[in-house]
Chains A and B, each alone.
Chain A
Amino acid sequence: MILLGFVDDVLDVPWRVKLLLPSIAALPLLMAYAGHTTIIIPKPLISYVGQEVLDLGWVYKLYMGLLAVFCTNSINIHAGLNGLEVGQTVVIASAILIHNLMQIGASSDPEYKQAHAFSIYLVQPLLATSLALLSYNWYPSSVFVGDTYTYFAGMTMAVVGILGHYSETLLIFFLPQVLNFLLSLPQLSGYVKCPRHRLPRFNPETGLLTGTRDGTLINFYLRMVGPKSEKTLCIHLLLVQALGCCFCFLLRYLLAGWYK
């Protein structure tokens, strides 16, 4: 994915190809994946499905591929402010790390602990190197990260979610990205006119950003709370991200036993 992301940054490939790149990059994982392709049916739905455990087979692999495409591109479109791409990755990676540690501590199944340990061994390097990048990319940015970074970060998190078998938890960590994707759907699908950049409007005199009517979480948030400076806006959005992660932990705590 790093290779394809860098090729994209250098050659500026058309966006339809951009969407396809993560599926190609995910191929080694899909081909080599020898683990189980079963899912545990949530307790309330067992009566409808008829089984406790359902083997999805190739559909599971399709899901893995789609998860990779989603994670990479969703981080890529929830971007445009100094420090937002790296910041959101740092927040989610920290949440993943905490989740992994909690799961290892609370479990006694060695295979389960191994899966979460595997995830830790990949998330810690992601977190450390991203923090180093953030030290240059935070407002005001001295460097930009490029598609290379957003694709790399998205793929890493998709990979640990898949191999650690906690992809539903991962998706709840990605709640703001999911919201942003849903808000963007009308423009991405072409239903509503989609400009080259969907960033908020910058006023050089006040130094504040104002939300436009584009369908992004950034613009939606600005329309709700009013014009903000770039730095404050980024901090707010990262707090929203962190809140989403806390909400996920709360949800898991409340639903434990009831859900699985």
Chain B
Amino acid sequence: MAARKRASAADTKPSPPPQTQETTTLIDPPIAPPKKALIFKFCLFFSIPYFYLLYQYYTIEQELRRSILINASLCVTGFFLTQRMIPVASRYVLKRGLFGFDINKKGTPQGTVKVPESLGIVVGIVFLVLAILFQYFNFTADSNWLVEYNAALASICFMILLGFVDDVLDVPWRVKLLLPSIAALPLLMAYAGHTTIIIPKPLISYVGQEVLDLGWVYKLYMGLLAVFCTNSINIHAGLNGLEVGQTVVIASAILIHNLMQIGASSDPEYKQAHAFSIYLVQPLLATSLALLSYNWYPSSVFVGDTYTYFAGMTMAVVGILGHYSETLLIFFLPQVLNFLLSLPQLSGYVKCPRHRLPRFNPETGLLTGTRDGTLINFYLRMVGPKSEKTLCIHLLLVQALGCCFCFLLRYLLAGWYK
């Protein structure tokens, strides 16, 4: 949920008369430079398992490896392009009144700085361009692949549009819940894959079959997964760098999972499904890292619902088309917990305020957990007051731990479960 005070219509002035225009541009400073060191450290850290899996641990065939690396180099270009475009877009966004004030810095001088909002639009557009152009390099005669790929892109594009419309027009929350189901329609309509699920071995005696065809219920599940992923990222938010950070962690986990599945499998269709997922997750990761370089504490830009919806939809789409949505849901464990903690307030059973953020103390600079039902507050109540940056790092570590737990679970249950 966007935890920034949206500039009210009264605040935005009409275009200033010529004589003050020069002073206005002098007063509005450009945004702070990106935190390149942070991103560099992450890339260094992540490239170790990435290249190890891609080259050493598994023998992946040349063709596939080449495609993945072509995609990766395209993404590197995308990273730098996004990093260049964010300051440019920030100027336009500020000019049109799309900015917020950082609530977690209220009472300090930084709490009066106008922070540009909705920079997720830059990420979304660069992502789409990367994903569209990649088709040229991986052009196979397989029209089925193209149909699924373009349906996926259509869903993601639709979600970016609806997310941006939401950021600009500030739609009511009931409509907000509905938006991802509308955006997921292209995927649901075009999905020609199987709608069967493999029954876990222990339950086969109860169900009576090894494989169960769910039909339209599977499509309903797909739609609900899209609604869940988008909104769960949206509500597990409010700290500088949390939304982008959680996406980066989950996307990295997805990427590792995809590489492991490709390496360990010999079924070409199965490998294709996971390769498909890689081709969409790598651009997500690259563009998100570029955004994170500006959004990490202290945030120079805010990401807006545009970003959280886009990221959630992309991950739902790859989970659906790669057929690993249960694994995806375990990666989303903190988001699931946050959702369950939030249920009483979201359902109206308990009173729900406009913002459910922890309380900021301007003197100590620490955040204290309130009694609101969010993972952030729950964690703070458990470990005591923390600064915003430390808290965000802790929560991202919790996210990473959840992903490692998922890998462990898969390793332990392999053979027993499926």
Q: Is B352 an interface residue (CB 8 A)?
A: no
**In this complex, what residue of B is CB-closest to A7?**
B121
Nearest to A24 among chain B residues (CB) is: B129
Distance of B35 from chain A, by nearest CB (Å)? 25
Q: Which of A1-40 contact B (CB under 8 A)?
A: 2-4, 6-7, 10-13, 24, 27-28, 31-32, 34
- Closest Cβ neighbor of A10 among chain B residues: B168
Q: How far is the CB of A100 from chain B (nearest CB, A)?
A: 22
Q: How far is the CA of A13 from the CA of B164 in the complex (A)?
A: 16
Do A11 and B157 contact each other (CB < 8 Å), given the known contacts A31-B133, A32-B135? no
Chain A: minimal CB distance from B136 (Å): 6
Cβ-defined contact, A11 with B96, below 8 A: yes
B371 shortest CB reach to chain A, Å: 38
Tell me how far the C-beta of B14 lies from the nearest C-beta in chain A, rounded to whole angstroms: 14
Residues of B within 8 A of A3 (CB): 124-125, 157, 160-161, 164
> How distant is the Cα of A32 from the Cα of B143 in the complex, in angstroms?
9
Out of B96, B146, B161, which one reaches A2, CB within 8 Å? Answer: B161
8 A Cβ contacts from B157-194 to A:
157, 160-161, 164-165, 168
> Is chain A's binding surface mostly helix, strand, loop or mixed?
helix
Which residues of B are found within 8 Å of A31, using beta-carbon distances?
132-133, 135-136, 139
The answer to whether the Cβ of B329 comes within 8 Å of any Cβ in the partner chain is no
Whether A32 contacts B146 by the Cβ 8 Å rule is: yes
Interface residue count on the A side (C-beta < 8 Å): 15
Knowing A28-B132, A32-B135, A34-B143, the reply to whether A11 touches B150 (Cβ < 8 A) is no
Are A13 and B133 neighbours in the complex by a CB distance under 8 Å? no
Tell me which of B93, B98, B146, B165 contacts A34 (CB under 8 A): B146
Q: Known contacts A6-B164, A6-B165: does B92 contact A11 (CB below 8 Å)? A: yes
**Cβ-defined contact, A12 with B96, below 8 A:** yes
B292 within 8 A of A: no
A10 vs B125: C-alpha distance in the bound complex, in angstroms? Answer: 15
Per the bound structure, the CA–CA distance linking A28 and B132 in Å amounts to: 6
Tell me, rounded to whole Å, the shortest Cβ–Cβ distance linking B133 to chain A: 7
Shortest CB-to-CB span from B277 to chain A, Å, is 19
List B contacts of A28 (CB < 8 A). Answer: 132, 150, 153
What's the least CB distance linking A121 to chain B, in Å?
13
Complex-state Cα separation, A6 to B98, whole angstroms: 14
CB contacts (< 8 Å) of B129 on chain A: these are 24, 27
Docked pose: A32 CA to B134 CA in angstroms: 11
Does chain A have a CB within 8 A of B89? yes
Q: Which residue of A lies closest to B168 (CB)?
A: A10
For residue B124, which residues in chain A have a CB less than 8 angstroms away from its CB? 3
Contact A27 B168 (CB under 8 A): no
B133 surroundings in chain A (CB, below 8 A): 27, 31
Select the residue from A4, A12, A32 with max chain B CB neighbours within 10 A.
A32
CA distance A3 to B162 in the complex (A): 9
Residues of B within 8 A of A7 (CB): 121, 125, 164
* Set of chain A residues within 8 Å of B98, measured between Cβ atoms: 10
Q: B157 contacts which chain A residues (CB < 8 A)?
A: 3
Q: How far is the CA of A194 from the CA of B143 in the complex (A)?
A: 47
Residues in A whose Cβ lies below 8 Å from that of B139? 31
- A13→B153 CA distance, assembly (Å): 24
Contact yes or no, A10 B96, CB < 8 A: yes
Chain B residues near A13: list those with CB within 8 A: 92
Docked Cα-Cα span, A13 to B92, in Å, equals 8
Complex formed: what's the CA distance from A28 to B154 in Å? 9
Q: Give 9 A-B pairs besides A3-B157, A24-B125 with Cβ atoms closer than 8 angstroms.
A: A3-B160, A7-B125, A10-B96, A11-B89, A12-B95, A27-B129, A28-B153, A31-B133, A32-B150
- Residues on A facing B (Cβ under 8 Å): 2-4, 6-7, 10-13, 24, 27-28, 31-32, 34
Q: List 7 A-B contacts (CB under 8 A).
A: A2-B161, A3-B125, A11-B96, A12-B92, A27-B133, A31-B132, A31-B139
